[in-house]
Structure 1
């Protein structure tokens, strides 16, 4: 049984590295329906339940320190690939459609929670918030919201499971509707070629460059600096039950990441 911090962190990083390697090398469609992060959560939960490590004071302290310090850094690194200028090239109509869709998703989650909130725990709204974030911005957004709302990992496991199940069902529905896409576009008088041309142009502009060791080291160092700066700035911001210190940290790390992604 693991009782100290270093073996605990080592086994977590080892499991994560294996999943990333297998997902990258195998290109299996399995990971499209069950993302590596979902598998990671359930593997870690299973190992914890089996008593592979005990929740000693040292391990608990290390876990909290790593999570609070690395989450802003990871958000920053993730957003380095997001160039807001390319997003703006999609045009007003598509961007407006995206915001309307995001708004409808948020309304759907709010209404659902209002109807069934008596059946859930008092803090279930945090799980609903993280799940809605996934449908608005993907798994990375969901993890960021988890950190911002202090959603426990035990609850996050259920969120990831539901997200994967819903996503698989939604993909099957979309695939079933593909043959009707042309008729639907004709009915609503939509020009699907515009989106296809925009997607193609964005893919052409997305030229990938190899990252050398020096650049990788620089990015890691910069990400940690962003984490420290975000945490320090958050100390001076007003907080509420919803807008917590962690929320401010995520917001500042996101803003810095978006700005850096343009450069």
Structure 2
């Protein structure tokens, strides 16, 4: 946390904030574990994971905490816990089974990127008809920056801000749209993931490949399951954070070298250390899945990885400020139209291809959320599927800048700027 920032929130100490988040997650899981009474009925309709996201968001919105100025998300959750979770969840993966998921998953990912672009054009045009003031000035530039985030990630968003010289105020407002609209959609996906079986049954989607992968993973875990000893837990934590440290050690020099010597590095965001951390931690875990390290899942490796993901989603949620759009409330309508067009187009393709809901969710979240949140949504379907979300999310770093630039120059022309 920036020590020079004013402490406007009631809780400004990150250690106290961490305790609050830990206690909140503990309370959610304690109530969710009740086998009888009102809590059981409550959690029949409201997933525990949804509360882990929204309760910290409420804390932030009412001024109890200041998520934007906390160090818990960056660097702790996104730079440490996320890659550690990716290592632990990836080392349990059945790579051959993932590959059997087929080309339709990639098709949904590509369609999601295109639908985000088309959604930007449709939202800009429609708001120009309904409320022209919303798309006046440099709104098109803010939308280009948001397109960078919704196709790629934060690095792509910053790249578009610099390319199109977006005003700081406008950029800040679209950061709020990114969190307010994008993360609410993430929460909806988490909610619907718990009903994926019913959705797939109604659509007639072929879920055989996913179910086969889940079954093999569960059978493997049962075969090697054991009561974890202190040595097991030490090894799991050592593997996870050792890999995180190695990833960061390589990411710094690698990103600097690519940024200085490779002309297209910035287009693919290879000058950003975080891109390398995500990719390296994923591939370290993937390499370990071919070794005896995979048997660590029997001692709880994937459970610890999932625990890290729950802390990550709580830290994502605590950045949401529901009240921050008060100055330009119509921007929320713009973002809502944009994402609804994306959802409608992608859902139409999903129905046409008759793909499982998991493919739809991953295609959307790997674009809108990127590698920081796509693994969270994937893990709701099954913890071992988190790396699928990470890999698809990382693809956005390579395509986000180019596609967002196309969005920007098109919107600029539509605005007559």
What's the CA shift for 1:84?
0.7
Secondary structure of 2:278's partner?
helix
Is 1:86 the counterpart of 2:97 in the alignment?
yes
Counterparts of 1:1-263 in structure 2, within 5 Å, are 1-23=10-32, 36-53=48-65, 60-61=70-71, 63-67=73-77, 68-88=79-99, 90=100, 94-116=101-123, 118=140, 121-129=143-151, 155-165=178-188, 175=198, 178=201, 181=204, 195=209, 198=212, 202=216, 205-208=219-222, 209-210=225-226, 212=228, 213-236=230-253, 237=255, 238-239=258-259, 240=266, 243=269, 244-263=272-291
Distance 1:193 1:147, change over 3 A: closer
Secondary structure of 1:206's partner?
helix
Q: Deviations over 1:72-98 (max 9, x none)?
A: 11222232332213334x3xxx51233
What's the CA shift for 1:21?
4.8
- Determine if contact 1:77/1:257 at 8 Å carries over to the other structure: yes
**How far apart in 2 are the matches of 1:83 and 1:231?**
26
Distance 1:104 1:171, change over 3 A: farther
- Determine if contact 2:98/2:213 at 8 Å carries over to the other structure: no
Secondary structure of 2:102's partner?
helix
Give 5+ residue unaligned stretches, structure 1: 131-144, 186-191
What's the CA shift for 1:103?
2.6
- Determine if contact 2:21/2:56 at 8 Å carries over to the other structure: yes
**How far apart in 2 are the matches of 1:103 and 1:161?**
22
Distance 1:35 1:207, change over 3 A: same
Distance 1:148 1:16, change over 3 A: farther
**How far apart in 1 are the matches of 2:91 and 2:117?**
31
RMSD: 4.3
Give 5+ residue unaligned stretches, structure 2: 1-9, 125-139, 159-173, 260-265, 292-417
Secondary structure of 1:235's partner?
helix
**How far apart in 1 are the matches of 2:62 and 2:240?**
34
- Determine if contact 1:148/1:249 at 8 Å carries over to the other structure: no
**How far apart in 2 are the matches of 1:197 and 1:74?**
23
The aligned counterpart of 2:377 is none
**How far apart in 2 are the matches of 1:72 and 1:169?**
26
Q: Deviations over 1:214-240 (max 9, x none)?
A: 212321222112111111211122242
Distance 1:33 1:119, change over 3 A: farther
Distance 1:111 1:64, change over 3 A: same
Q: Deviations over 1:85-127 (max 9, x none)?
A: 3334x3xxx5123333333233323332354464964432255
Secondary structure of 1:258's partner?
helix
What's the CA shift for 1:207?
3.2
Distance 1:250 1:222, change over 3 A: same
**How far apart in 2 are the matches of 1:114 and 1:24?**
46
State the TM-score, normalized to the length of structure 1: 0.66
